[in-house]
Chains A and B, each alone.
Chain A
């Protein structure tokens, strides 16, 4: 999901069609050089339906020598520990049977709900922040309350400043301003729901949200662009 660097390649891939539920790009062969790059970009084009992540990002410096300097920048961005890893879930990977996946998921959720009583703790990460936080969603009754709490939680990081975060999140609730917010550099709260999809916060009624939210990520507005069309779609389908 890194947007910095490698700008040319991104344009070729049709960036406006990106969705966060992504396929994985092919790992470049070691020392594959030009041929591999071409192959990779070709495959990416032919994929069409999703943006592929350049898996070279995951490789060591040994493998990335021979790549252009913009890619090195991408590597740095994606090794930032506070950010969830660039690759989103790949369909059918790791190869664990859906049955087993579901069984373990229900086990986890049932045991955690037993332990926590009526608390619903989810992790919160913020782009640029060096560590994660945890919030109990059941402590809040509205999106506004959550938004205020998050702003306070992360306000200590100089990159944000109180107004930016709060304003961004408040504006976000208002759909008309959505695109403005996303085009700006404000922060946008997103969450991962039960299906594993990344959604914009605020779409669904609060009660439904706390039931389905597994974790929160406060993204830079520019990065959340890919989510907007999907969120709009889900909204449209619901109305």
Chain B
């Protein structure tokens, strides 16, 4: 369409609605677009017409790339010349659970090289499940003089030496957020690399590193970074040291404590409590490694305004949690270990009426002799007390259909429902029925559901229901479930908003895989492992859908015809050229 034609047709459209003839000057469009932050809104804007496409792409400063192989850095740079902030995700999510070979790819370096040339003013880089080497970190530190924020989540391939390079060279750094990575922790010396004149740090998260750092260097760093609002320490920091840090940073909004288990004198305890009560802005609390119940009262002063409490590394008992929660009436988000048991969850229901998100992690996921943890009763108790609950991640060893039905009746606003019954294929333990009814209730009642993880014994009925009712579902995770191809076909045939489908150990084969041909182009990705898909099925898919990348990873010793692990994703960059030998691109 010619842009002048477009302009005329836009004008005529406008004049239907108003008496004056309105034109849409570029300045107005630019101004409006500059206020648009959401990448989805921007995507919508960009497909209105060519003018809007151009206006949008020239004004975009942050790009979000959900699958690093869906596009190439060159294409990104060509379309968006003014990017200052990049979020990139790499490996399939199941790589978190060791299902993806080590050298699979998602290396950031090629991106950095392009960015160094095209975005010399890059300020922020947020990576999830990417491979990043020390060399890349050093390259990053040296190539972008304005670099401000680095966030690494679930990444691997680097060591603390890379962090040292960042600390040494990034003079304008405001954020260093290192979370849950496969990092080679070679020692805490990296922290001492921040120059003495450096004062800009606002976010420092090294909670998941294990080595001891130089505490004096840290104390000096924290006291001169007056804008620091997020500080998450690692286990090497003692309670006493924590107290000293709090004294020099009362402005903190998010605090991750160090180890919470050394002996404290009464006076030290008092001092800690006092320092914490001076931090009037703390709304997020985490860490609490090896928390011992007797020291928890020191936290009480900080609890009054707490909205997010992460106790997922503190093996608390129900009583300890209950006491703590009586001080946390404002909680919106709570993460706990299942050591708190059902009684602990009951306390949540009683004390946290504003709760929106609950995650219950298993303390001993692989020890089957232990029959503790949480049951359906705890979940039900929370649902009665927390009607605003909309995000749940729940690991348990038993569940019933009736309980889930009650839960969603109490909390119909679920957007994220991730239930993991840890024994694969386990039925309702009271009735011995499959858990179909449970997830049927979830999808029928929770119309806003965006993300669903199913577990337990499930037949195709579950997937029929998902396909039919889950109109807003975007992400579905399935394991050890389903009876036949029909199940997966139902999901692919329904779920209009499906973007990510990850399946493992299910009896879905080629018929199911091939029923989603057109669907896959509207999705980000499909993962299928240990299912019944064959190489021929994958080849057919690859042949029919040239705009999809179809990748197969074979297990050692498996049949030649079996496609053990299949990863399918749409891409405008074509098949990737950096696949290791274990990954076959069809």
Complex: chain A residue closest to B179, CB-CB:
A99
Among B154, B361, B505, B506, point to the contact of A96 (Cβ < 8 A). Answer: B361
Q: Which residues of B contact A32 (CB under 8 A)?
A: 483
- Given A47-B558, A58-B425 in contact, is the A27-B481 Cβ separation under 8 Å? yes
Query: A46 vs B533: C-alpha distance in the bound complex, in angstroms?
Result: 10
Q: Which of B98, B154, B424, B460 contacts A27 (CB 8 A)?
A: B424
Q: Is A30 in contact with B556, judged by CB distance below 8 angstroms?
A: no
Which of A61, A94, A107 makes the CB contact (< 8 A) with B290? A107
Complex contacts, A108 vs chain B, CB 8 Å: 364
Of the 9-residue stretches B14-22, B265-273, B426-434, which lies at the interface with chain A?
B426-434
Q: Shortest beta-carbon distance, B29 to chain A, in Å?
A: 43
Q: How far is the CA of A100 from the CA of B181 in the complex (A)?
A: 10
> B312, B460, B505 — which one has the most chain A CB atoms within 10 A of its CB?
B505
Residue of A35, A39, A42, A107 contacting most chain B CB atoms (<10 Å)? A107
Interface size class of B (residues with CB under 8 A): 35 or more
The 8 Å CB contact of B366, one of A30, A40, A61, A196, is: A196
Assess whether B315 is in contact with A59, with CB atoms less than 8 Å apart: no
A132 to B555, CA, bound (A): 36
Q: Does residue B561 face the partner (Cβ distance < 8 Å to A)?
A: yes
CB distance from A55 to the nearest CB of B (A): 5
Cβ-neighbour of A93 out of B154, B181, B424, B483 (below 8 A): B424
* Interface 1/0 per residue, A36-75 and B, CB below 8 Å: 1001101101111100000100111111000000000000
A29 within 8 A of B: yes
Q: How far is A63 from B459 in the complex, measured between Cα atoms in Å?
A: 12
Chain B's interface: helix, strand, loop or mixed, by majority? loop
Residues of A contacting B426 in the complex (Cβ-Cβ under 8 angstroms): 58
List, in ascending order, chain A residues with CB within 8 A of B504's CB. 92
Contacts of B366 in A (CB 8 A): 89, 94, 101, 196
* Complex alpha-carbon distance, A29 and B505, angstroms: 13
Does B289 sit within 8 A of A, measured CB to CB? yes
Verify A26–B460 contact, CB threshold 8 A: no
Query: A39, B532: Cβ atoms under 8 Å?
Result: yes
Q: Is B422 an interface residue (CB 8 A)?
A: yes
Let me know if A158 is at the binding interface, CB within 8 A.
no
> Is the beta-carbon distance between A93 and B558 smaller than 8 angstroms?
no
Q: In chain B, residues 123-163, which have Cβ atoms closer than 8 Å to a Cβ of chain A?
A: 154
CB distance from B516 to the nearest CB of A (A): 20
- New A-B contacts (12) at CB < 8 Å, excluding given A42-B532, A46-B532, A47-B558: A27-B425, A29-B484, A39-B507, A46-B558, A47-B562, A90-B424, A91-B99, A92-B504, A97-B96, A99-B182, A107-B315, A110-B290
Q: Which 6 A-B pairs have the closest CB atoms?
A: A29-B483, A27-B425, A92-B97, A60-B432, A49-B557, A99-B180
> Can you show 5 pairs from A to B with CB atoms below 8 A apart?
A32-B483, A35-B484, A84-B369, A94-B420, A97-B154
